[in-house]
Structure 1
Amino acid sequence: MTGAEETEDSELKKGILSKRLIHVFGLYLSVSIGS
């Protein structure tokens, strides 16, 4: 694995993680507002 590929892979993981966090946060917000 080259350095460039490694960087790309970690960027991809960061993107997935942030999307997941946003999704969870959105769910939490809708539950908070709903109750």
Structure 2
Amino acid sequence: MMSESALVYYNINDKALKAEYPGFETFKAKWRAGV
């Protein structure tokens, strides 16, 4: 499980991460599902 700070970091940098990592949306969806 990610820490609160990591979650905030990902939320703030969401657009940048989407542009940089094509698989980020898939990763985020899996993480949110608890996989």
TM range (shorter): 0.3 to 0.5
TM-score, structure 2 as length reference: 0.34
Where relative contact order (Cα < 8 A, 6+ residues apart) is larger, the structure is 2
Q: Name the structure where helix makes up a greater proportion of residues.
A: 1
